Chain A
């Protein structure tokens, strides 16, 4: 498996072995004019751990990881990578950054793009060629390495975008919503590779607003809302905060915001929020409140299409903590 090869490959010379957590950040604050985008966020990520930053669009995930990667100066707070402050330029060689955009030259080939970025990280000659071949193999693009990126499919571009972040064998890989806009098959492939990278000993920070992705790949999750880290832990720890509660998904048509508001008034319902074509409800006992929820739907004029009761998950946690759905 190519991941094993990646883990066994020699590290970049400038990157010393870290001790303790690979990433440690505390009290991060970032303000843009009058708006506070990040308000006191702090967390740690160990080697081999995949840490998910879960939150809706605009919650402050991207701002947080830009401070982690040194792309934004924090107004307050500290970031250390491998115990060293981020202010040291060479520390950046320990971090692999995969931006949300496909930050690659479309008119250059995959190999040319990787060669350029590898040189920026100090890779030269034979080692550069070796790392390019390795990254292309890891992302399944070896046979298309001489094609221009503009000829790639969306999924291939995403994979190459990740490959570019792995060239220099970082201790910490930061992925900013790496599956946005890709088809289910490519998404599955990307998630598999991220899991493999974590298994190889790399520390990974993974931002997403897809609950199912955080649920699948992340060892720990930090939930961000309005610039604050409102909860953190493993999925089990987070869900257990809700106790023995159920999640109820009601697919409906009509004024879903009004429907969610009316459902919040039902006895036994802890939270309810509209998202896309449905209303998510968290309740202590899903089956007992179900008749009242149906009655509330009839009262509000909404038409129910389907109802599903399941165990609470990360989305339920987010809903319970914020009163809103992840994707509204």
Chain B
């Protein structure tokens, strides 16, 4: 045990003396949390594709109504085919087709079919279709009122339509305002509550990968050989190095949690669950870091390849944008990475008031990743220590 602590202590001492490492461990994550937290907004906005086949002024009114609805982001497509392709690619959540002659049909009191494209099995698309449907219904009510008034010789259709629209705006109506309380939100809250947990996941893993260079340098200097000549077992050396990586990962995660809470006002959710998640993520990071040190041949390789790999995994795992806005294929692919499970667990804790029990399955997957990575990396490091 003393040998393990001696190895870990020295490795940690080296980290504290490395200004570049301290920059990547502390300064950069906090800066990125600040920038992303201040800029990321609007993952709750629903993108809607609109195809206007010649609907006239009624179509334009409907489009304007959708644009004015706060949660809808309207994008125009020339053909139905282009719009449905955009839906299938996930570029828009739903598509609305405004038919030719819509305005004339409404004026003559005929019913008009407004087609809304959405996948029945996709809850996001269904929610988008429902949001669009409510706007269509609102505009439809306005049209019905104007048609009724003009049919009763109370002015022209255009004038009655304007009156109906104005009445809709000024009349006090009952409104339902939703707030996130144990909801089914698939994304983290916006702002720093989004950037802090995702950047914690990203940077702890990324820095661990890059710091594999330390193991490579120790091997190249012949220090493992020197350690192996001492009256300590190889497993003692391996444990010491792994403990150092775990401590660095845990320290970085704890610092982000602390600064997130104190400076950025992030509420990290259930403390026991959040602590468990941080501990497991530090173990995953330690495993990845030690593995990196045994996979690359030179410190330069680890420093150059580690960060891009860490960023790519973070992208796949939903650290850069929510996986809920991705296609199902990308979501499944993303969940091959530990990052996706960690972000899911944070989403549960921060957006849905999750508990240790509710994130237990995700912690289980992360524990499996940690055990796998640590077993593989420690076995490989043992071989590195034994190399002569």
Contact = CB atoms under 8 A, between A and B. Distances in A.
Contacts of A117: 226, 230
A69 interface: yes
A121 B223 contact: no
A112 interface: yes
B57 interface: no
A120 B6 contact: yes
Nearest to B6: A119
Contact of A99 (B218, B226, B233): B226
A103 B229 CA distance: 12
A89 interface: yes
A93 B232 CA distance: 9
B231 A71 contact: no
Interface stretch (B12-20, B179-187, B294-302): B12-20
A328 to B, nearest CB: 25
A120 B227 contact: yes
Which DSSP category, helix, strand, loop or mixed, fits chain B's interface? helix
Interface range for B: 20 to 34
A92 B230 contact: yes
A106 B225 CA distance: 16
Contacts of B7: 120
A92 B232 CA distance: 9
Nearest to B18: A107
A122 B2 contact: yes
Chain A interface size, under 10 / 10 to 19 / 20 to 34 / 35 or more? 20 to 34
Contacts of B231: 14, 89-93, 120-122
Contact of B232 (A72, A101, A120): A120
A164 interface: yes
Contact of A108 (B13, B227, B229, B232): B13
Nearest to A168: B230
Contacts of B166: none
A70 B229 contact: yes
B116 to A, nearest CB: 64
B75 to A, nearest CB: 54
Interface string A70-114: 111000000000000000011111010101011111111000100
A109 to B, nearest CB: 9
B177 interface: no
Given A66-B388, A104-B221, A107-B18, A121 B10 contact: no
A95 B3 CA distance: 17
A107 B232 contact: no
A105 B229 contact: no
A289 to B, nearest CB: 46
B157 to A, nearest CB: 82
28 contacts: A66-B388, A69-B229, A70-B228, A71-B225, A91-B231, A92-B229, A92-B230, A92-B231, A93-B230, A93-B231, A97-B229, A99-B222, A99-B225, A101-B222, A103-B222, A107-B14, A108-B10, A116-B10, A117-B226, A119-B2, A119-B6, A120-B3, A120-B6, A120-B7, A120-B230, A121-B230, A122-B231, A164-B226
Given A92-B231, A101-B221, A116-B6, 20 more contacts: A66-B388, A69-B229, A70-B229, A71-B229, A102-B221, A102-B222, A103-B221, A105-B223, A106-B221, A107-B17, A107-B18, A108-B14, A108-B17, A117-B226, A119-B2, A119-B3, A120-B7, A120-B227, A120-B230, A121-B231
